[in-house]
Amino acid sequence: MINVTKTYLPPLAEYTAYLEGIWERNWVTNYGPLMQELEDKLKAYLGVKHLFFVANGTLALQIAIKALELRGEVITTPFSYVATTSSIAWEGCKPIFVDINPQTLCLDASLVERAITAETTAIVATHVYGNPCEVEAIQLLAEKHHLKVLYDAAHAFNVKYKGQSVLHFGHVSTLSFHATKLFHTGEGGAIVTNDDELAYKISYMANFGHDGPERFLGMGINGKNSELHAAMGLCVLPKVEEIIQHRREVSTLYDSLLQGHGLTKPVGSPETSYNYAYYPLLFPDEEKLLAVIAALNAHQIFPRRYFYPALTNLNYVLPQQAPVAQSAAARILCLPLSHDLAAETVRQITAVIIDAL
Ligand SMILES: *Cc1c(COP(=O)(O)O)cnc(C)c1O
């Protein structure tokens, strides 16, 4: 069976070596040494100032929204994983969808201004599949209208834009380290910011509001992650370059085998150093996409419709239209991509696709 992704698991001995340390110290969670080490290594690797390792990418978004004190209307993308929208609604804000750019499938910055009202407090956008949003245009809009910017960078681990980490853009960025993501800790996520004041707020908000064992600075939640998850991250991080390299080779092979069949892919900025987090493929219509899925499934190959349906369909948001996102959501499919997908399997997958078209 071949799934859309396969979790990279380190050699078991590497993980158990960390477990032995955890057993010796008898320290399982609450800011242990592995958690500190992972945060330090991630900060250095990604080149960011503040990074908080939290329980998952959804909680990262929710804590970021709380720390930024968002309220009222929040402009966001209808084309992302559901957690982007649900976090906004969960924190009591109203998601206002602005349609996506048909090339990048990220929020279309040229459509944002007309959606801004007196109630708007922020823009929450996703770097879809790891392709950066129009970060400069969004920054100008945010400055002009005094809005906060939060990026859901769940797909953008190690993505660089114009030579620097894409995580530098916006007031806060969040990452997911879920087992299906490029870099993972089993379950996990992170909140990233360059702003010292925000970082301080995030640090206590992610730890029940604690400032020392008997003092509370304000309201907080349990956002912590454990030594067991940090250990996984410490095993996976040194392999990330290798993992990306293999995914790049697989993606290049897919590109060459699939060209000339009327299929397209979202287009990222040429100034991006990409992480090959996904291999999305756009079909001319939903009928063809469904035929291809059926053919692949018959061969025990299970791609995923990331992201389907468009988030405008959620029953807890106001009915809104986003024709570009709705069209893309109906026609897009992410093909299997992992650290050890064999060239032979890629050939098999593409042969089934071409045959079913
Ligand atoms: C995976 C993902 C999330 C949620 O992350 P979890 O760690 O699974 O909670 C949020 N946004 C996007 C775009 C994602 O792909």
Name the token pair of 177.
């380290």
The model's pLDDT over 215-264, given as tens digits with 9 standing for 90+, comes to 999 999 999 999 999 999 999 999 999 999 999 999 999 999 999 999 99
Q: Residue 266, Cα to own-chain centre: how many angstroms?
A: 16
Q: At a CB cut-off of 8 Å and minimum separation 6, what does 247 contact?
A: 182, 275, 276, 277, 337, 338, 339
My answer on whether 244 and 205 are in the same domain is no
Look at the block and give the residue holding tokens 């920054």.
Answer: 139
| Rounded Cα distance, 39 and 217, in Å | 23
Number of domains composing the chain = 2
Dump the DSSP string for 38-93.
HHHHHHHHHT-SEEEEES-HHHHHHHHHHHTT--SEEEE-SSS-HHHHHHHHHTT-
Ligand 1 mean position, distance from CA 88 (Å)? 13
My answer on whether 33 and 20 are in the same domain is yes
Domain boundary among 204, 238, 272: 238
Ligand 1 mean position, distance from CA 57 (Å)? 5
Q: Taking residues 39-51, what's their average pLDDT?
A: 98
Which pLDDT band holds residue 69 (cuts at 50, 70, 90)? very high
Q: At a CB cut-off of 8 Å and minimum separation 6, what does 4 contact?
A: 180, 302, 303, 304, 306, 334, 335, 336, 337
State residue 23's pLDDT score.
98
Task: Say which CATH number the domain at 51 has.
Answer: 3.40.640.10
My answer on whether 176 and 290 are in the same domain is no
Which pLDDT band holds residue 310 (cuts at 50, 70, 90)? very high
Nearest atom in ligand 1 to the alpha carbon of residue 84 is: 11
Residue 142 is part of which domain span?
Answer: 2-99+106-238
Pick the residue whose CA is nearest to atom 10 on ligand 1: 83
Three-point CA angle 168, 84, 100, nearest 5°: 80
Residue from 5, 63, 81 to probe ligand 1 pocket by mutation (most atoms less than 8 Å from CB): 81
My answer on whether 170 and 61 are in the same domain is yes
The model's pLDDT over 74-132, given as tens digits with 9 standing for 90+, comes to 999 999 999 999 999 999 999 999 999 999 999 999 999 999 999 999 999 999 999 99
Ligand 1 mean position, distance from CA 56 (Å)? 8
Nearest atom in ligand 1 to the alpha carbon of residue 60 is: 9
Q: Taking residues 320-343, what's their average pLDDT?
A: 97
Task: Say which CATH number the domain at 337 has.
Answer: 3.90.1150.10
Q: Residues near ligand 1 with C-beta < 6 Å?
A: 56-58, 80-81, 83-84, 126, 152, 154-155, 176, 178, 189
Kindly report the number of other CB atoms within 10 A of residue 28's CB atom: 12
Domain boundary among 196, 220, 238: 238
Which pLDDT band holds residue 157 (cuts at 50, 70, 90)? very high
Q: Taking residues 2-6, what's their average pLDDT?
A: 94
Residue from 7, 63, 152 to probe ligand 1 pocket by mutation (most atoms less than 8 Å from CB): 152
State residue 302's pLDDT score.
97
Name the token pair of 253.
């092979």
| Nearest Cα residue to 87 out of 105, 111, 106, 67 | 67
Exposure of 212 in the CB half-sphere (CA atoms within 13 A): 2
Which pLDDT band holds residue 193 (cuts at 50, 70, 90)? very high
My answer on whether 172 and 247 are in the same domain is no
State residue 176's pLDDT score.
98
State residue 102's pLDDT score.
97
State residue 169's pLDDT score.
98
| Rounded Cα distance, 120 and 75, in Å | 7
